Amino acid sequence: MELNIRRLQESDWEILPDWWNGWKDWSAPTRDSLPDNGLGGFMVEKNEKKILAGFIYTTNSKGAWVEWIISDPNYRENDRQQALELFIQAAENVCKAQGIKYILFIGRHKNLINTFEKFGWHVDKKPSYELMKKIQ
């Protein structure tokens, strides 16, 4: 069966935190730190089985940020990579349709980086650090 991609729905929050917490060295982000309170992204499915999700932060500039890509750690079929590629292509298409010119992704997982690079994304080989501060 073919993969399907759709906008995130409220019901997806029954599983998304478990996915983040199910991967080593990951913690679920707070929902209010995600775009549109956790609904600003997409879910990739196959036969209604949820496989992978990710988010798109938009700004008041011509830039956007794709982030928090996560997949079901218990998914065992061999099309997880295809699901990731579908998500990246959909994110690019949505951003193009909104007039966005630049998309940023920050990651450390080698497969994610390699997949973005496969689609023509520039990978800066110099290390950088993610800095964050909760102010309230």
The percent of residues above 70 in pLDDT, for the chain, comes to 99
Res 117: pLDDT:
95
Beta strand pairing call for 3-7 and 41-46: antiparallel
Q: How far apart are CA 131 and CA 54, in angstroms?
A: 20
State the pLDDT confidence band at 95, using cuts at 50, 70 and 90: very high
**SS3 label, residue 117:** helix
Res 118: pLDDT:
96
Q: How far apart are CA 28 and CA 36, in angstroms?
A: 16
The tokens 């950088």 sit on which residue?
128
Whether CATH 3.90.930.60 fits 3-118: no
Residue 122 tokens read as: 């520039």
pTM: 0.92
Res 7: pLDDT:
98
Are 71 and 83 within 8 A, CB to CB?
Answer: yes
